[in-house]
């Protein structure tokens, strides 16, 4: 397995969930990975487990200077940066009238401004690498099909979709070999999902059944299924693909 051979990736949210699965898949496919996360201990533990082609750096995606430091740390450790996976994100319920105002600002800061800062910090390093590069932003089924009761999350993910397409067009127009794509997961079995499943909002069995029912394939997805899509889009196999919406949602975004 060598789809990522020679690639050096920076993965935000790499300590657990989808980000951790992406980091594992990149190393398994022959690449190197820098795990950036606010949970540095967990990121470091995963990096140790993955071996010499993995390392960890403290990263709060809300801070541009931390992104710049993470990019510099990646170049210092692995010699270049050729892949950025913007995966860190949060999802908490709240409507436009009853959600805490703080939730709006925090969700936009992490889910939308975070990837903006990530791309701003990474693109100059990618240009400097002189190699074909790729950015993969994690959206959501909700970016294609906004949902009730998650106003900030819906806005952040549809906003990220517009940002992804704008940057893809911009980089292509400038003739830069940097592709920018999106992966849209449905409900995926990660700590984020488990937190909601056991939140007490309903019985865990009902929550699982209700989530599964919003996906025509009638199940929850696994982080490894999302990771495979990210690795494909990050690899040169996807060399003519930019600005795309790649769904990993069991058909959830096209259900009737
Ligand atoms: N799990 C799902 O059902 C699902 C569905 C659709 C989209 N997504 C998206 O996938 C991405 C990953 O979700 P997940 O389920 O793996 O979440 P998770 O909560 O299981 O893991 C998220 C990771 O991001 C890190 N993180 C959170 N805030 C951060 C910050 N400010 N800076 C840096 N790191 C930060 C956390 O420490 C954690 O390691 C998110 O963007 C999420 O919106 C998840």
137 lines ligand 1 (CB under 6 A): no
- Give CA 209 to chain center in angstroms: 25
What is the CATH architecture assignment of 8-186+221-249?
Answer: 3-Layer(aba) Sandwich (3.40)
Which residue out of 117, 153, 193, 196 is catalytically annotated?
Answer: 153
Position 236 scores a pLDDT of: 98
Task: Give the pLDDT confidence of 226-240 residue by residue, as tens digits.
Answer: 999 999 999 999 999
pLDDT of 99: 86
Structure tokens at 101: 């105002």
Confidence of residue 256 (pLDDT cuts 50, 70, 90): confident
| Residue 72 Cα to ligand 1 middle (Å) | 23
Cα dihedral 60, 195, 103, 115 in deg (nearest 10): 40
- pLDDT per position as a tens digit, 123-167: 999 999 999 999 999 999 999 998 999 999 999 999 999 999 999
Q: What is the pLDDT of residue 142?
A: 96
Average pLDDT, the chain: 97
Question: 13: closest CA among 230, 211, 225?
Answer: 230
Nearest Cα to Cα of residue 73 among 86, 49, 54, 51: 54
User: Which residue has a Cα nearest atom 25 of ligand 1?
Assistant: 13
pLDDT of res. 201: 87
Residue nearest to atom 43 of ligand 1 (CA): 89
Write down the number of H helices and E strands in the chain: 10, 7
Q: What percent of the chain has pLDDT over 70?
A: 100
Total-model pTM? 0.98
Active site residue 117: no
Tokens in use for 221? Answer: 């997805």
Return the pLDDT at 12: 99
Q: CA end-to-end span of the chain, whole Å?
A: 38
pLDDT at 119: 99
pLDDT digits (tens, 9 = 90+) for 29-66: 999 999 999 999 999 999 999 999 999 999 999 999 99
CA 25 vs CA 49, 85, 159: distances in Å: 13, 12, 27
The full set of domain ranges for the chain reads: 8-186+221-249
Residue among 159, 189, 190 whose CB has most ligand 1 atoms within 8 A, to mutate: 190
pLDDT at residue 238, as a whole number: 98
Which region among 8-12, 87-91, 116-120, 201-205 has the lowest average model confidence (pLDDT)?
Answer: 201-205
């Amino acid at each position: 397995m060598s789809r990522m051979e020679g690639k050096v990736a920076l993965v935000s949210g790499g300590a657990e969930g989808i980000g951790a699965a992406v980091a594992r898949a990149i190393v398994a496919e022959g690449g190197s990975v820098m795990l950036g996360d606010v949970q540095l201990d967990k990121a470091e533990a995963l990096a140790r487990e993955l071996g010499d082609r993995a390392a960890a750096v403290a990263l709060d995606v809300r801070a541009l200077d931390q992104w710049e430091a993470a990019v510099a740390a990646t170049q210092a450790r692995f010699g270049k940066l050729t892949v950025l996976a913007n995966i860190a994100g949060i999802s908490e319920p709240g409507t436009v009238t009853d959600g805490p105002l703080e939730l709006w600002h925090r969700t936009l800061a992490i889910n939308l401004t975070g990837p903006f800062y990530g791309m701003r910090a990474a693109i100059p390093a990618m240009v400097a690498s002189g190699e074909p590069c790729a950015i993969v932003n994690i959206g959501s089924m909700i970016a294609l099909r906004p949902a009730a009761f998650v106003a900030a999350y819906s806005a952040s993910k549809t906003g990220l979709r517009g940002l992804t397409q704008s940057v893809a067009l911009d980089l292509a127009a400038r003739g830069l070999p940097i592709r920018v794509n999106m992966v849209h997961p449905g409900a995926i079995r990660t700590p984020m999902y488990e937190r909601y499943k056991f939140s007490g909002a309903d019985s865990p069995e009902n929550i699982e059944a209700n989530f599964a029912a919003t996906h025509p394939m009638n199940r929850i997805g696994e982080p490894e299924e999302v990771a495979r899509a990210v690795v494909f889009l990050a690899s040169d196999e996807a060399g003519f693909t930019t600005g795309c919406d790649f769904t990993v949602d069991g058909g959830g975004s096209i259900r009737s």
